[in-house]
Amino acid sequence: MNKKIENVVLKQIINQHFKPYIRQIDEKAYYQKDFLSVVGKAGFFSSNFLQKEDVRCRELYIIEETAKYCMKSAFTLWCHLAALASFRLSNNPFINNHLLPLFELGDVLAGTGLSNAIK
């Protein structure tokens, strides 16, 4: 997907699946699972056919756009992306062939508990 189209798609996802829930996220600890899943389904978590630098730039862009509206959600998104980065480093065929696609599609969401240890 070209960057202009990608930007428009992300803004549509944010407007439709994220912004209407910001108050609930802030006041009622609503977990924005649907937003994260839609972002994944739209291909924003996928690393297929991309250089590592392109993946990182896109991920930073998604976090930045999310943070414009809600820092809690940006952090939750970062947690999922940090876990994805760890999974992508794996040499385990089960992780690479079965789990990683689920995380990149947003079918399964993850968080990182060992970020500092992995650095």
- Label each residue of 45-112 as H, E or C: CCCCCCCHHHHHHHHHHHHHHHHCCCHHHHHHHHHHHHHHHHHHCCCCHHHHHHHHHHHHHCCCCCCC
Give tens-digit pLDDT for 2-57: 788 888 999 999 999 999 999 999 899 899 999 999 999 999 999 988 899 999 99
pLDDT band at 114 (very low <50, low <70, confident <90, very high): low
pLDDT band at 118 (very low <50, low <70, confident <90, very high): low
Q: Which residues contact 66 (CB under 8 A, 6 or more apart)?
A: 14, 18, 73, 74, 77
Tell me what percent of the residues of the chain surpass a pLDDT of 90: 76
For the chain, the maximum distance between any two Cα atoms, rounded to a whole number of angstroms, is 41
What is the CATH number that goes with domain 3-118? Answer: 1.10.540.10
Pull the structure tokens for residue 117. Answer: 């240890």
Does position 95 have pLDDT exceeding 80, yes or no?
yes
CA distance 9 to 13: 6
pLDDT computed for residue 117 by the predictor: 56
pLDDT band at 1 (very low <50, low <70, confident <90, very high): low
